[in-house]
Amino acid sequence: MTIDTKAQAVVYPPSPDFVAKAHINAERYEELYKASIADPEAFWGAEGKRIDWIKPYTKVKDVDFTLGQVSIKWFEDGTLNVAANCIDRHLETRGDQTAIIWEPDDPADEALHISYRELHRSVCKMANILQDMGVRKSDRVVIYLPMVPEAAYAMLACARIGAVHSVVFAGFSPDALGARVNGCDAKVVITSDFAPRGGRKTALKSNTDKALLHCKDSVKVLMVRRTGDQTTWIEGRDHDYNALFLEADDTQAPVEVGAEDPLFILYTSGSTGQPKGVVHTSGGYIVFAGMTHKYTFDYHDGDVFWCTADVGWVTGHSYIIYGPLANGATTLMFEGVPTFPDAGRFWAVCEKHKVNQFYTAPTAIRALMGQGKEWVEKYDLSDLKLLGTVGEPINPEAWNWYNEVVGKGTRPIVDTWWQTETGGHLLTPLPGATAAKPGSATKPFFGVEPVVLDPQSGEEIHETAAEGVLCIKSSWPAQMRTVWGDHERFEQTYFSDYKGYYFSGDGCRRDADGDYWITGRVDDVINVSGHRMGTAEVESALVAHETVAEAAVVGYPHDIKGQGIYCYVTLMNGVEPSDDLRKTLRNFVRQEIGPIASPDLIQWAPGLPKTRSGKIMRRILRKIAEDDYGALGDISTLADPSVVDDLIENRMNKS
Annotated binding-site residues read 197-200, 315, 391-393, 415-420, 506, 521, 529, 532, 543, 545, 548, 590
CB 315 to ligand 6R9: min, Å: 5
Closer by beta carbon to ligand 6R9, 367 or else 644: 367
CB 587 to ligand 6R9: min, Å: 25
In Å, how far are 249, 308, 449, 569 from 548, measured between CA atoms? 55, 38, 46, 7
CB 371 to ligand 6R9: min, Å: 23
Residues binding ligand 6R9 (CB under 6 A): 268, 313-315, 390-393, 415-420, 441, 504-506, 518, 521, 527, 532
In Å, how far are 9, 200, 208, 249, 397 from 336, measured between CA atoms? 38, 10, 21, 31, 26
CB 583 to ligand 6R9: min, Å: 29
Select from 504, 508, 524 the least CA-distant residue to 618. 524
CB 531 to ligand 6R9: min, Å: 7
CB 498 to ligand 6R9: min, Å: 15
Residue 523: enclosing H or E segment and its boundaries? Answer: none
Closer by beta carbon to ligand 6R9, 392 or else 497: 392
- Output the known binding site for ATP: 391-393, 415-420, 506, 521, 532
Select from 52, 121, 82 the least CA-distant residue to 254. 82
* Alpha-carbon gap, residue 137 to 280, rounded angstroms: 15
* Alpha-carbon gap, residue 209 to 110, rounded angstroms: 30
Contact 426, 450 (CB under 8 A): yes
Contact 123, 100 (CB under 8 A): no
CB 367 to ligand 6R9: min, Å: 17
Closer by beta carbon to ligand 6R9, 294 or else 531: 531
Which residue blocks in 505-569 are alpha helix, DSSP H?
A: 535-543
CB 266 to ligand 6R9: min, Å: 9
Instruction: Give, rounded to a whole angstrom, the gap between the first and last alpha carbons of the chain.
Output: 29
- Beta-strand pair 357-360/386-390: parallel
Closer by beta carbon to ligand 6R9, 194 or else 359: 359
User: Of how many residues is the chain composed?
Assistant: 655
- Output the known binding site for CoA: 197-200, 315, 529, 590
Contact 146, 335 (CB under 8 A): yes
Closer by beta carbon to ligand 6R9, 85 or else 527: 527
- Which residues are paired to 195 by β-bridges? 202
* Alpha-carbon gap, residue 315 to 327, rounded angstroms: 16
- Beta-strand pair 466-472/450-453: antiparallel
Contact 510, 452 (CB under 8 A): yes
- Provide the angle, in degrees to the nearest 10, between the axes of the packed helices 579-592 and 174-183: 30
Select from 326, 162, 131, 322 the least CA-distant residue to 256. 162
Select from 453, 457, 458 the least CA-distant residue to 470. 453
Contact 173, 185 (CB under 8 A): no
* Alpha-carbon gap, residue 115 to 94, rounded angstroms: 8
CB 555 to ligand 6R9: min, Å: 11
Closer by beta carbon to ligand 6R9, 390 or else 647: 390
Residue 185 amino acid letter: D
From the number of C-beta atoms within 10 Å of its C-beta (0-12, 13-18, 19+), residue 62 rates as middle
- Provide the angle, in degrees to the nearest 10, between the axes of the packed helices 642-649 and 618-625: 20
- Beta-strand pair 562-571/601-604: parallel
In sequence order, which residues have a C-beta less than 8 Å from that of residue 476 and are 6 or more positions away? 284, 288, 422, 424, 426, 445, 447, 448
* Alpha-carbon gap, residue 489 to 50, rounded angstroms: 33
CB 505 to ligand 6R9: min, Å: 6
CB 95 to ligand 6R9: min, Å: 32
Closer by beta carbon to ligand 6R9, 391 or else 431: 391
Closer by beta carbon to ligand 6R9, 313 or else 446: 313
CB 238 to ligand 6R9: min, Å: 32
Closer by beta carbon to ligand 6R9, 282 or else 504: 504
Contact 653, 627 (CB under 8 A): yes
Q: How many CB atoms lie within 10 A of CB 381?
A: 20
Helix or strand or coil: residue 142?
Answer: strand
Closer by beta carbon to ligand 6R9, 176 or else 215: 176
Closer by beta carbon to ligand 6R9, 205 or else 521: 521
- Output the known binding site for Mg(2+): 543, 545, 548
Closer by beta carbon to ligand 6R9, 153 or else 417: 417
Closer by beta carbon to ligand 6R9, 43 or else 418: 418
Which residue blocks in 383-434 are alpha helix, DSSP H?
A: 396-401
* Alpha-carbon gap, residue 40 to 61, rounded angstroms: 8
